Structure 1
Amino acid sequence: MNQRTKVLGMGAVAALLVAVGLLRFTDTGQVSPQPGSAPPSTSAVVPATSGVAPVIPSTVAGAPVPPPAPVAPSDAELESLAAALRERYGAKLDEPSVQIRLIEELMRFFQQRSPDRWREELLAFVKAYFPERYDALEAMLRNRVDYEKWVRDNDSYLRGLSGPERRAATWDARNRLFGKETAERIWASELKNQALADTLRSLEAREDLSLEKKLSTLKQRIQEVHGAQADAYMARHQQEVMNHFLDLSSVQTELGAMTAQERSRSLRTVRREMGLDEEALKRWDTLDQSRDARWDSGAKYMAERQTLAKELSGEALEERLAEVRARYFGAEASTIAQEEASGFYRFERPRQWGRN
Structure 2
Amino acid sequence: MRQRTKVLLVGAVAVACGVLGWGLVRPTGAAVPASTPAAASTPGQPPPTTPVAASPSAVAPPPVMPSPASVPGNVDAELEALATSLREKYGAKLHEPYLQIRMVEELMRFFQERFPDRWEQELLAFLKANFPEHYDALAAMLRNRVDYEKWVKDSESYLRGLTAEQRRSATWDARHRLFGKENAERIWVSERKNQAIADTLRTLGAQEGVSLEKKLSTYKERLQEVHGEQAAAYVERHQQELMNRFLDLPSVQTDLGGMTPAERSQSLRSVRKEMGLDAEALQRWDALDQSRDARWDAGAKYMAEREVLAKELSGEALEAKLVELRARYFGGEAETIGQEEAGGFLRFSRPRQWGRN
Q: Which amino acid aligns with 2:191?
A: E
Q: Partner of 2:39 in structure 1?
A: 36
Which stretch shifts more, 187-196 or 309-318?
309-318
**Could you tell me which amino acid in structure 2 is paired with residue 203 of structure 1?**
L
Match of 1:116, SS? coil
Residue 6 (structure 1) aligns with: none
CA 79–212 in structure 1, closer or farther in 2 if over 3 Å, else same: same
Which amino acid in the other structure matches residue 272 of structure 2? R
SS in 2 for 1:354: coil
Residue 18 of structure 1 corresponds to none
Which residue does the alignment assign to 2:7?
Answer: none
Count of equivalent residues: 298
Please list every run of 5 or more consecutive structure 2 residues that lacks an aligned counterpart in the other structure.
Answer: 1-36, 47-69
Which protein has greater RCO, CA pairs closer than 8 Å, 6+ apart? 1
Unmatched 5+ stretches in structure 1: 1-20, 22-34, 40-47, 51-69
Distance of 1:104 and 1:186 partners within structure 2: 12
Alignment partner, residue 138 of structure 1: 139
Residue by residue, what CA displacement relative to the aligned partner does 1:270-293 show, whole Å, maximum 9, x if unpaired? 001111111111011001001101
Name the counterpart of 1:44. none
Measured in 2, the distance between the counterparts of 1:114 and 1:137 equals 19
**1:9-65 Cα shifts (integer Å, max 9, x gaps):** xxxxxxxxxxxx9xxxxxxxxxxxxx93469xxxxxxxx989xxxxxxxxxxxxxxx
Q: Which residue number corresponds to residue 271 of structure 2?
A: 270
Please name the residue that 1:239 is paired with.
Answer: 240
SS at match of 2:238: helix
Structure 2 residue aligned with 1:180? 181
- Alpha carbons of structure 1 residues 95 and 312: separation in structure 2 relative to 1, 3 Å: same
CA deviation after TM superposition for structure 1 residue 109, in Å: 2.1
User: Amino acid of the residue matched to residue 333 of structure 1?
Assistant: A
What's 2:298 paired with? 297
Deviation of the 1:79 alpha carbon: 2.5
Shift of 1:174: 0.4
CA–CA separation in structure 1 for the residues paired with 2:356 and 2:301:
21
**Corresponding residue for residue 97 of structure 2:** 96
Deviation at 1:208, TM superposition (A): 2.9
1:22-171 matches, cutoff 5 A: 36-37=39-40, 74-171=75-172
The structure with the largest helix share of the pair is 2
Secondary structure at the counterpart of residue 94 of structure 1? coil
Local SS of the residue matching 1:82: helix
Structure 1-normalised TM-score?
0.79
Q: Which has the larger radius of gyration?
A: 2
Cα separation, 2, equivalents of 1:77 and 1:333? 55
Give the residue type in structure 1 aligned to 2:133: E
Alpha-carbon distance between aligned partners in 1 of 2:285 and 2:141, rounded to the nearest angstrom: 47
* Residue in structure 2 matched with residue 10 of structure 1 by the alignment: none
Does 2:346 match 1:352?
Answer: no
| Aligned twin of 1:312 | 313
Aligned to 1:254: 255
2: distance between equivalents of 1:82 and 1:172? 34
Aligned partners of 1:188 and 1:259: how far apart in 2? 42
On the 8 A contact 2:45/2:117 being kept in 1, the answer is no
CA distance in 1, matches of 2:293, 2:210: 27
